[in-house]
Structure 1
Amino acid sequence: MSPLAIGSLAFCFVFGAACLGMLLHSRLPDGHLSGDSRDAIKLATAIIGTLSALALGLLIASSKRSLDDANIELRTWSARVVLLDRVMAHYGPETKEMRGELRTLVQERLRQITGGYNSPIPVADGLDVEEIQDGLRNLTPGSNAQRWLQTRALQLSGEIAEAHWLRPETESEEFPSLFVAFLVVWLALLFGSFGLLTPRNATVVFTLFICSLSITGALALIIDMDHPYLGFIRVSEGPLVAAIDRLGKP
């Protein structure tokens, strides 16, 4: 489920709870909304509000860390790809085909990143790196320099392949759904109490509508940021574009 769909569903729950609270406000007996009752409701909702704020803070910190880690991974990956290309270029013309495969690999990853949720989750580029590794192993060095370059190229290709298997979490559409579900329930209870304790008029309805839209919109953005290779808030493709410009040069 995309962050926009989660945010829309959360908005329906939160604003729906606020509307339900306003409906109950006009139908409950007066004793249920006396001063003591209001104080008890406010005390309970203050605890829920604190829990919701802490949960949102944890989600923001986790999502920001995912985005930062993805940016670092992509810059490191791009730098290793360029360095691998230069090592193979120094080895000799025997690596021309493998350099072409490496360029195709980078172009494919760029397409997957810019495609976002409309593009399949990248899972096969690690296999492409392994094919390049197989080609490097089959080379027959004719000098000590070529032997060192072959060893260095195998080391770099191994690091690229390893990085591929270390990033499935940040490229997955999965999110801690149970945690988000609890957060939405807390927000619904909070806004339901707001509707219960306030009179029903256009100003209150509009205010609760805007607040519900704001907080569920923020939740959608937080979830989106946790998917740095898929969502609207994603890693910059600048390192890949720069890498493509440098690949294949003599």
Structure 2
Amino acid sequence: MDGPTTGVAVFACLFSSAVAGLIAHARLPAKLLTRRATTAIRRSVWIVAMMAALMLALLTVQLKTHFDSASRDVRNFSSQIVALDRTLRQLGPEADPARSLLFRYSARIMKDVWPQTHPKLGPADTHATKLFGELERAIGDLESPDARMRDLEVAAMAQLHEIARARWNLGDRDATQLSPWLVSFLVLWLMLTFGSLSLSAPRSPLVMGALFLCALALSSEVFLTVEFADPYVGLIIVSSEPVQNALFALSE
């Protein structure tokens, strides 16, 4: 689902429901909208309103937590890249080919996760899996007679496997967790709330303005909920700056 489109559609649905309620209030016979009937309608609609508010709050908290977790995964991935580069630097000039592959692999991952970015890529850097395999072989081919260097080589291979796990965590965040059916039912409940409330409200500029602002506030909340559902797609996304900083550190 697209956040801006969903937000605009929700606003249109809510405000249309409010306007429909005001029109119905003006056209219904006065004997139908008695005080007892109005009280019963308001009490009933409060149940629906509480359900919608609870659902919207739970969705917002859950998806914001999901979004923050994705942001932490990006920072973790970036820090592990820098840590592996530091280990390879300690191995000396023999590890320069591996460092070059690490840069190319990281740049490819950045392009895959954030297609709108423009990292430095070579003509052959089209598949991250292939680059990872070459990087793994390059680190595995490092054989030093020095015991300290061998320990660094083992540490570098362990760090590379940690990077692979961190990369898969980034991939797991790609799928949108927000069901369109859930949003549809939530909007339906909100439409019932707006329509029922405006049914017993007088037609005046003040009432219209209040309903307009309420519809705008709720539609913006739905917009944020949809945007948080996918951390890497939309107007609100997880920043690629940590990976950019890591690439800058690797290029020094």
TM-score range, shorter chain: 0.7 to 0.9
Specify the SS of the correspondent of 2:173.
Answer: helix
| Equivalent residue letter for 1:232 | L
Specify the SS of the correspondent of 1:247.
Answer: helix
Task: Specify every segment of 5 or more residues in structure 2 that has no aligned partner in the other structure, as ranges.
Answer: 118-126
Task: Specify every segment of 5 or more residues in structure 1 that has no aligned partner in the other structure, as ranges.
Answer: 117-123
Aligned equivalents of 2:46 and 2:129: distance in 1? Answer: 49
Aligned equivalents of 2:239 and 2:100: distance in 1? Answer: 24
Aligned equivalents of 1:82 and 1:10: distance in 2? Answer: 44
CA RMSD of aligned residues (A): 2.3
Aligned equivalents of 2:248 and 2:110: distance in 1? Answer: 13
Shift of 1:58: 0.6
Partner of 2:17: 17
Pair 1:143 & 2:146 matched: yes
TM-score (norm 1): 0.85
| Equivalent residue letter for 1:171 | D
Report if the CA contact (8 A) 1:126-1:161 is conserved.
Answer: no
Aligned equivalents of 2:214 and 2:222: distance in 1? Answer: 12
Shift of 1:127: 5.5
Pair 1:8 & 2:2 matched: no
TM-score (norm 2): 0.85
- What is the aligned counterpart of 1:225 among 228, 233, 242? 228
Q: Following superposition, which runs of at least 4 residues in structure 1 exceed 6 angstroms of deviation?
A: none
Give the stretch that moved more between structures: 75-84 or 127-136.
Answer: 127-136
Partner of 1:75: 75
Q: How does 1:34-73 map to 2 (within 5 A)?
A: 34-73=34-73
Aligned equivalents of 2:228 and 2:128: distance in 1? Answer: 23
Task: Tell me the percent identity.
Answer: 29
Pair 1:157 & 2:156 matched: no
Report if the CA contact (8 A) 2:89-2:95 is conserved.
Answer: yes
Pair 1:188 & 2:204 matched: no
Q: What do residues 89-146 of structure 1 show as CA deviations (whole Å, max 9, x unaligned)?
A: 2223233233123223334455544839xxxxxxx64664344223322333443233
Partner of 1:31: 31
**Distance 1:169-1:216 versus aligned 2 partners, 3 A rule:** farther
Give the stretch that moved more between structures: 138-147 or 215-224.
Answer: 138-147
Pair 1:115 & 2:116 matched: yes
Aligned residues: 242
Shift of 1:50: 0.9
